[in-house]
Amino acid sequence: MKPFDIEIIKSFSEKLGLVQSPIVIMPHVNPDGDAVGSALGFANVLKNAGKQVVVISPNLYPDFYKWMAGSAEVVIFNAEREKSAKIMKEAGMLICLDFNHLSRTGEMIELVESFEGPSILIDHHPYPQNFTDLIISHPEYSSTAELVFHVVKALGMEPFVDKWAAECLFCGIMTDTGSFDYNVSDPQTFKTVSELLTYNINPEEIHGRVFDNYSVDRMRLLGYCLSECMEVYPEYHAAMIFLTKEVQKRYNFAPGDSEGFVNYPLSIKGVHFSTLFTEKDDQVKASFRSKGDFPVNEFASSHFNGGGHRNASGGEVTTNLQDTLTKYRSLLPEYAELLTKTKC
């Protein structure tokens, strides 16, 4: 891991010391386990240090993350716009976690752009946009949660980490590594986890709260998608799942129900590029995953208005689902060489 820029840590520490009014922490839109875990983990540490903290999420996150300490107090922007705007107006600092671009703030974009107090971005996505006063960007970390733990230590705030904060941070690392399946080749990540375990957290229980907590509908939806809505392209080492609105309705789709779907095709022998297209009201959400060298963040940014990490990325397009699928199918031959020579 790269060492932290001491000047930035010093400046962040000074600003934290001076802040009088509440600190707002925000994750990205459609928050995943790392976004929620790093936001609530850091919030718990700052609260233990005597700070007033409010977590504002651009939109709702799945129920299976709601066990985290402080989740009940999270303000959901698109459900409580006026309250959120008031809190942002009065806040003394803004901490943005787990995203690298203003477009990932969802409908909070104007509030973030017009925020007047000190602001900081702490994130592990490559190529951060410069929209905060300070940036702590370390793509070599497995997750923002892991990075937050080390920022907390660098700030000298380790004494304020407790079991509840450690549970949140562990959840962020666990989910962003696919339960320690990928992004874990740096020994540091396991060292971080072993430090978090000293706070008496129960990793099996946390894993169960997230991954053994699905509805029957969600399981049946997964089964349906894998049997009826998956296309496999062995010649390109690729596979794709599409999720229509009609199918979502049939299985009472709830936020988070399709989390993890995109990983399944990677279990097929020979497949190392996987895609999930989810039809929304006026757009299609794309999720991409790869094993090995194939850079899905470049694929996402070149064709699907998105970005992310080399092996996990996403994007959104406003074309309808059928046109999106046609576009995807026509792109595969263009990437044939890269996909077939990819090492994994």
Binding-site partner at residue 316 among ligand 5GP, Mn ion, none, CB < 5 to 8 Å by type: ligand 5GP
In this complex, which beta carbon is closest to ligand 5GP, that of residue 70 or of residue 306? 306
Give the integer Cα–Cα distance in Å for 53 and 70. Answer: 10
Binding-site partner at residue 257 among Mn ion, ligand 5GP, none, CB < 5 to 8 Å by type: none
Q: Please say whether the beta carbons of 48 and 160 come within 8 A.
A: yes
- C-alpha pair distances (Å), 127 with each of 21, 260, 327: 31, 25, 26
User: DSSP strand E in 109-171: where?
Assistant: 119-123, 134-137
Binding-site partner at residue 308 among ligand 5GP, Mn ion, none, CB < 5 to 8 Å by type: ligand 5GP
- Least distance from C-beta 34 to Mn ion, angstroms? 3
The residue written with tokens 């779907």 in the block is 261
Residues that bind ligand 5GP (CB under 6 A): 32, 101, 125, 262, 287, 306-309, 312-316
- Least distance from C-beta 189 to Mn ion, angstroms? 13
- Least distance from C-beta 82 to ligand 5GP, angstroms? 27
In this complex, which beta carbon is closest to ligand 5GP, that of residue 165 or of residue 312? 312
- The three-point CA angle 252-254-260 to 5° equals 110
Residues that bind Mn ion (CB under 5 A): 34, 98, 143-144, 176
Give the integer Cα–Cα distance in Å for 111 and 78. Answer: 12
In this complex, which beta carbon is closest to Mn ion, that of residue 166 or of residue 240? 166
- Least distance from C-beta 306 to ligand 5GP, angstroms? 4
DSSP state of 228: H
Give the integer Cα–Cα distance in Å for 273 and 252. Answer: 28
Q: Which two tokens stand for residue 161?
A: 């980490």
Binding-site partner at residue 195 among ligand 5GP, Mn ion, none, CB < 5 to 8 Å by type: none
Per-residue burial over 296-331, b if 16 or more Cβ lie within 10 Å, else e, is: bbebbbebbebbbbbbbbbbebeeebeebbeebeeb
Give the integer Cα–Cα distance in Å for 160 and 144. Answer: 18
- Least distance from C-beta 143 to ligand 5GP, angstroms? 9
Query: Closest CB to Mn ion belongs to which residue?
Result: 34
- Least distance from C-beta 183 to Mn ion, angstroms? 9
Residue 255 amino acid letter: P
In this complex, which beta carbon is closest to ligand 5GP, that of residue 49 or of residue 254? 254
In this complex, which beta carbon is closest to Mn ion, that of residue 98 or of residue 279? 98
DSSP state of 267: G
Binding-site partner at residue 31 among ligand 5GP, Mn ion, none, CB < 5 to 8 Å by type: none
